[in-house]
Structure 1
Amino acid sequence: MEPAPAPSPLDSDPRSLLNTRFGLESFRAGQQQVIERLLAGRNVAAVFPTGGGKSLCYQLPSLCFSGTTVVVSPLIALMKDQCDALRDRGIPAVRLDSAMTPRQYRQAMHGVRNGDTKLMYVAPERFFNERFIASLGSLKISLFAIDEAHCISQWGHNFRPDYLKLGSVAKRFSAERILALTATATPSVLKDIQAAFSISDDDAIRTRFYRSNLHLRSVILDQQDQYAHLLDRIRSRRAGCTLIYVSTQATAEEIAERLTDDGIKATAYHAGLDTDTRVSIQNEFIASQKGIIVATIAFGMGIDKSNIRYVYHFNPPKSLEAYAQEIGRAGRDGKIAICEMMVVPEDRVVLDNFTYGDTPSRQNVLRMIEILSGHADEFHLSHYRISSESDIRLLVVRTLLTYLELEGYLEATSPRYDHYKLQPQVTSQTILDHFQGERRAFVSSLLSLLTKGRTWFTLNVTLATKRLATDRERIIKTIEYMNEQGWLVVKVSDLTHGYRWLRRVDDPAALADQLTTRMLEREKSDIQRLDQVFLLAEARDCQAATLSKHFGEKRTRACKHCSACLDEGPFDMPITAPRTLGRSARIAVQDMVAKYPDALATPRDQARFLCGLSSPVMMRSRLTREPHYGVCRDMPFADVLRELEGG
């Protein structure tokens, strides 16, 4: 991609803006290089550690461009916090998320269209929403910024299929320049980011990963000693803001309750809490000097708090990338912060089983291919429906569909909603008075096709395209325009995703083998990531150097303050004795297979049932309510599967 032409800046002096609009005296490492390249019209990648100031790299340039800066982020909490902070500085910014009311959405889009609002935050899935696409059509996008850009790499630690399509989205809307940002890109993931967004090596800016004020510690414990060790650490160290990461919602509630009972006030935070509760907990923690949060990974994304003194991993993270992101929230004020990982052998079983639970059986992959093959050359389908029919988890379905796109079988077209409901806020005549000529005739004909219900009108868009001899896009744009003007309220339902066949599947069985192998390779890759975490915890070498090397930064000197450097390690991971399926578990499987032959047709399905790893069919069949569900949850999935396959 050729660099975009240089902008006609409203104020092209970055240092002046830094001081006058953001109240800062100097740039942090890497920020000026990124901003200068963007102002020159180039595509840029910024790999800064957590807390390294990535957001300024798009916030400041947004004030220099005549068009809109679109920031793509999966982190709703980050969107809200940054919009609030920008408004406090007199910089209008909006976030478009599912929590907005129709009125809020109209006001937000009005501010963007008239140029009052320069920054617009959106989630990646918004770009596959036909209503949003219709509303973006006439916008000039000066900067397209992608946060958490590592999600684009299918071999990265947090692959999100929607991210793979953002490069084509940027081209579709003629974005003048692209900025890809991440804190956790290994060298290979950075190469994937550069390839996806046409970023040259000279425009890939990576700043120093190592932070000397983060003191890494680890310990390997027996499970019965795990909580006592955490309690001792909190009591024996000077009080300070503390994050305790756990792997499940139930553990978050349990540990917070136990700490509170032991005289240490702690609050649980996880995705199972309602939005208002989560916001209240987060705000209280941000304002505190000694607050303690026990959280799943749902907490911390985009949080702006400088004085977190301790990050404890009561359960280990799934990867070194996740670990780096979570400990990166500590010590942003430059003062010493301790980051300690507490590992028990049983944690490995739980984390491994999470990974194995996502891998579909070959039979289910073949079923999904057969369902797809039955569709016409161009078609729409519900991801939820195909997940249910093929018994493959929703995110895995999206990943498999993305693989079919990468292999040249399918091409994604615009998603659409099957059902539109409209509620007029003014009379039809009032609406028509705003149009003339052909446009008035078109709107009049469109309104005449509405079917009245009790309080809402229904529009059959497919029928309307035929009756009006027009394309769907014009109808949707017209509806969105009337919605933005406040003339009607729109409700949509039943999202379906569009595809067209580029080449048909000649050999479904061979393709099922290929995709299953690919998913098993990904499973193996995820298990290897866990190996890296547990190896780091064993503290056989300088932990800071080991972590830095993983992210492409070579350290020649030891840190002198991690568990390895302090001679607390190395630790030996206890080898747990292998367990076998008991007679009762085998009888239970036989009984369940007889009762649910379709849901438990393969050894992998049966292993998932015994290990408590649900699937769409298990949920629908209420298999998860059977008393034998999860009886082997403490056994490694691989061992259970091996025994079932061996008979």
Structure 2
Amino acid sequence: MNTALDTLRSTFGLEAFRDGQRAVIDRLLAGESALAVFPTGGGKSLCYQLPALLIDGLTLVVSPLIALMQDQVAALQARGIAAARLDSSRSGDEVREVYRQLRGGELKLLYVAPERLQNARFLSLLQGLQIGLMAVDEAHCISEWGHNFRPDYLKLAQLAREIRVQRVLALTATATPSVAEDICRQFGIPSANHIQTGFYRPNLALGVTPCRDDEKLPRLIRGLQGSPQDASIVYVTLQQQAEQLATQLQAAGIRARAYHAGMKPEVREAIQNEFMAGEVSTVVATIAFGMGIDKADIRAVYHYNLPKSLENYMQEIGRAGRDGEPSRCELLACPDDVRVLENFTYGDTPAPEHLEALIRHLLSLGEAFDIAVHDLSNRFDIRPLVINTVLTYLELEGVIAGAGPFYSTYQVRFEVPQEQVLAGYDAARADFLQRMFGAGKQGRIWLTLDVTEAAEALGEPRERLLKALQYLEQQGSILTQVKGVRQQYRRLQTPDLAALGARLAQLFVRREEQSLSRLQQVLDYAEDGRCLPAQLCGYFGDVLTEPCGQCSSCLDPGPRTLPAQEDTALSGAQRSAIDALIAEGQEALRHPRQLARFLCGLSSPATFRLRKHAAYGCLADQPFRQVLSEVERRLGLG
């Protein structure tokens, strides 16, 4: 470890390792795989950045957080470390330059989004490289028992074996014991190499304040006005609520801005920069804010709405006080928030009939086929994330095999006149190019070319058209833009469709139950009178030996009582609204679950165009299960 310590000091400018870092780095340098479960701000990144400089070959870092990739690559390059990233923000020229650096062995670290690992060309390149280490950030996403399951993550363990990764480092801040066990099992990590530091952070004072919905705003304003210069994050559930609350805080004299995924990227970046510079003191955000943001002096985190799980809560409060200075984390516990969070969960569960129809369709497309997730989502009224989950499970069960994505449509702009382009080639090649361009639709500036349709019309392999376009762009003759991504697959077997459909339907029901259970755990935490950090430590398999002495439970011992949820009995007018909607016979609302989602204000692919309908969201204040039960009863199904 002397070499590691020397590197820590000479390259990273640090004098000593933090808790857990040395143990993880020691395992990796010994050629072993490891799991690092450190709290937010606990120094996980160094655990792969430093070994990357001492291990032969490339370190491949898989992360879903573009902001984190951008920040870390910039910081590494500033230290003279050969690092690069591949994500959706990179141009074609930038991607080609990274590929060149990879082939030349010039890079030590490469950051990629998990989706990049579906690209057949990229995988082919990786298989020819020596990959000394694969670091998987946010590794809890690999576990179907985790709180933030992502289908692309499920295939990472298999992929690591296919590209002959020498060792793996899985990293997360929020793994319960069962999730940690699942991660270790999938990556073949010995239990002794599960390195977990304590979850307790003594500089964070945790508070829970039971309150009704109309009490939250004045409490929040008082808290923010008490320390007007402090950097604070206020977490809310809905994008519209972020905008509204930020406006209310501004009216109270607080330098607040809203931040959510519905904003344009340049707007989000500007707000983030203002917050980092101290020009904005408070950001009112959905969970889109804070992932990978390295601001050490956040003094307060407020949860204006309940978080959807204790894992989310732990991750979000972890953004406070990363400089070690005292900070406060306040949860405004209002049970009425539960309804919106529950309804989000119900909105993701597909109707079993739609799920079976999707699988039947996929397996009827032939031995080799390609699909667009967006098209399937609209056709079967299943959200895109759920479509991707189904495709992933079909791959893992050996029913289909992915062959990588491709873009169906290329837009071409001629940088030199088309006649001049053709004049540079012999008669046969010029004829091919002329026919290819003729298969497109010429607009005022751009020629739109559906490559698959053009290939069929010309009787040529699609690959020939793609190579021609790429070559012309490299020569500076044309500029291209791509759109319409499609996924390619091969059918490997035709299983019992009814059994497969039932199995996958049960999987989504189980995930729905897990999400609802996690929400109940948040309520239990808020009501439990025991030390708050001790509760959180216990949930994550850690032990706090004595009460913290500074949380709201320790300062005010005794049980907490949350306000009762409002009465949810359906009125006569609401029942009439259900009957009226059923009588319309809308094609997109034929299934009871579609009707219930629509009435609760949960948009789905098939009902998106109906969102201005008077009945949309008219029962948003009612529990989804109650609305679904009433819909089924009025349809004669219950």
Task: Give the alignment's TM-score, normalised by structure 1.
Answer: 0.88
Match of 2:355, SS? helix
Distance 1:222 1:58 in 2: 45
Distance 2:415 2:85 in 1: 25
Distance 1:190 1:105 in 2: 34
| C-alpha contact (below 8 Å) 2:34/2:193 kept by paired residues | yes
Q: Supply the AA of the counterpart residue of 2:610.
A: L
Find out whether 1:631 has 2:621 as its counterpart: no
In the TM superposition, residue 582 of structure 1 has moved relative to its aligned partner by 2.6
Q: Which moved more, 1:198-207 or 1:586-595?
A: 586-595
In the TM superposition, residue 463 of structure 1 has moved relative to its aligned partner by 8.2
The equivalent residue for 2:19 is 29
Distance 1:518 1:550 in 2: 24
Distance 1:180 1:447 in 2: 48
Find out whether 1:48 has 2:35 as its counterpart: no
> CA-atom RMSD, angstroms?
3.4
- Which residue among 353, 366, 374 is the counterpart of 1:363? 353
Distance 1:559 1:467 in 2: 73
Percent identity reads 45
Distance 1:492 1:169 in 2: 27
Q: Supply the AA of the counterpart residue of 1:146.
A: V
Q: Give CA deviations for 1:264-316 in whole Å, capped at 9, x if unaligned.
A: 11111111222222222212222329821111111101111111111110111
Q: Supply the AA of the counterpart residue of 1:451.
A: F
In the TM superposition, residue 231 of structure 1 has moved relative to its aligned partner by 1.1
Q: Supply the AA of the counterpart residue of 2:564.
A: I
Distance 1:498 1:101, change over 3 A: closer
In the TM superposition, residue 480 of structure 1 has moved relative to its aligned partner by 6.5
The equivalent residue for 1:642 is 629
| C-alpha contact (below 8 Å) 2:174/2:311 kept by paired residues | yes
| C-alpha contact (below 8 Å) 1:45/1:180 kept by paired residues | yes
- Which residue among 506, 514, 526 is the counterpart of 1:525? 514
- Which residue among 545, 548, 552 is the counterpart of 1:556? 545
Find out whether 1:534 has 2:520 as its counterpart: no
- Which residue among 448, 451, 466 is the counterpart of 2:437? 451
Q: Which moved more, 1:270-279 or 1:328-337?
A: 270-279
Q: Which moved more, 1:323-332 or 1:139-148?
A: 139-148
Distance 1:314 1:97 in 2: 32
| C-alpha contact (below 8 Å) 1:103/1:486 kept by paired residues | no
Q: Give CA deviations for 1:168-189 in whole Å, capped at 9, x if unaligned.
A: 2223333232221111111111
Distance 2:292 2:567 in 1: 41
Number of equivalent positions: 628
Distance 1:113 1:410, change over 3 A: closer
Distance 1:471 1:294, change over 3 A: closer
| C-alpha contact (below 8 Å) 1:418/1:493 kept by paired residues | yes
The equivalent residue for 1:566 is 555
How is 1:105-504 mapped onto 2 (pairs within 5 angstroms)? 105-133=95-123, 136=126, 138-237=128-227, 239-288=229-278, 291-420=281-410, 450-451=436-437, 458=449, 460=451, 489-504=479-494
In the TM superposition, residue 485 of structure 1 has moved relative to its aligned partner by 8.5
Q: Which moved more, 1:117-126 or 1:244-253?
A: 117-126
Distance 2:380 2:165 in 1: 38
Distance 2:35 2:7 in 1: 22
Q: Supply the AA of the counterpart residue of 2:611.
A: T
| C-alpha contact (below 8 Å) 1:243/1:310 kept by paired residues | yes
Q: Which moved more, 1:449-458 or 1:34-43?
A: 449-458
Q: Which moved more, 1:449-458 or 1:407-416?
A: 449-458
* Unaligned runs of at least 5 residues, structure 1: 1-10, 432-439
In the TM superposition, residue 637 of structure 1 has moved relative to its aligned partner by 0.8
* Unaligned runs of at least 5 residues, structure 2: none
The equivalent residue for 1:97 is 87
Distance 2:585 2:372 in 1: 25
Q: Supply the AA of the counterpart residue of 1:171.
A: R
Distance 2:47 2:35 in 1: 10
Distance 1:633 1:408, change over 3 A: same
How is 1:564-603 mapped onto 2 (pairs within 5 angstroms)? 564-567=553-556, 569-603=558-592
Task: Give the alignment's TM-score, normalised by structure 2.
Answer: 0.90
Q: Supply the AA of the counterpart residue of 1:101.
A: S
Match of 1:154, SS? coil
Q: Supply the AA of the counterpart residue of 1:598.
A: E
In the TM superposition, residue 126 of structure 1 has moved relative to its aligned partner by 1.2
Distance 1:153 1:551, change over 3 A: same
Distance 1:289 1:494, change over 3 A: closer
Q: Supply the AA of the counterpart residue of 1:365.
A: L
| C-alpha contact (below 8 Å) 1:269/1:278 kept by paired residues | yes
Q: Which moved more, 1:242-251 or 1:599-608?
A: 599-608
Distance 1:423 1:118 in 2: 36
Distance 1:646 1:468, change over 3 A: closer
Distance 1:202 1:389, change over 3 A: same
Q: Supply the AA of the counterpart residue of 2:572.
A: R
| C-alpha contact (below 8 Å) 2:356/2:497 kept by paired residues | no
| C-alpha contact (below 8 Å) 2:529/2:557 kept by paired residues | no
| C-alpha contact (below 8 Å) 1:221/1:342 kept by paired residues | yes
| C-alpha contact (below 8 Å) 1:418/1:494 kept by paired residues | yes
Distance 2:460 2:618 in 1: 60
Distance 2:29 2:95 in 1: 30
Distance 1:540 1:287, change over 3 A: same
Distance 2:468 2:5 in 1: 43
Q: Supply the AA of the counterpart residue of 1:77.
A: A
Distance 1:489 1:124 in 2: 28
Distance 1:290 1:100, change over 3 A: closer
In the TM superposition, residue 66 of structure 1 has moved relative to its aligned partner by 4.2
Match of 1:33, SS? helix
Find out whether 1:609 has 2:569 as its counterpart: no
- Which residue among 505, 516, 519 is the counterpart of 1:516? 505
The equivalent residue for 2:71 is 81
| C-alpha contact (below 8 Å) 1:112/1:118 kept by paired residues | no
Distance 1:517 1:606, change over 3 A: same
Distance 2:453 2:592 in 1: 44
Q: Give CA deviations for 1:298-351 in whole Å, capped at 9, x if unaligned.
A: 110111111111111011111111111111111111121111100212101111
Distance 2:537 2:245 in 1: 31
In the TM superposition, residue 165 of structure 1 has moved relative to its aligned partner by 1.0
The equivalent residue for 1:5 is none
Distance 1:443 1:76, change over 3 A: farther
The equivalent residue for 1:8 is none
In the TM superposition, residue 386 of structure 1 has moved relative to its aligned partner by 1.4
Match of 1:592, SS? helix
Distance 2:554 2:361 in 1: 56
Distance 1:487 1:79, change over 3 A: farther
Q: Which moved more, 1:475-484 or 1:589-598?
A: 475-484
In the TM superposition, residue 617 of structure 1 has moved relative to its aligned partner by 0.7
Q: Supply the AA of the counterpart residue of 1:632.
A: L
The equivalent residue for 1:3 is none
Match of 2:611, SS? helix
Match of 2:519, SS? helix
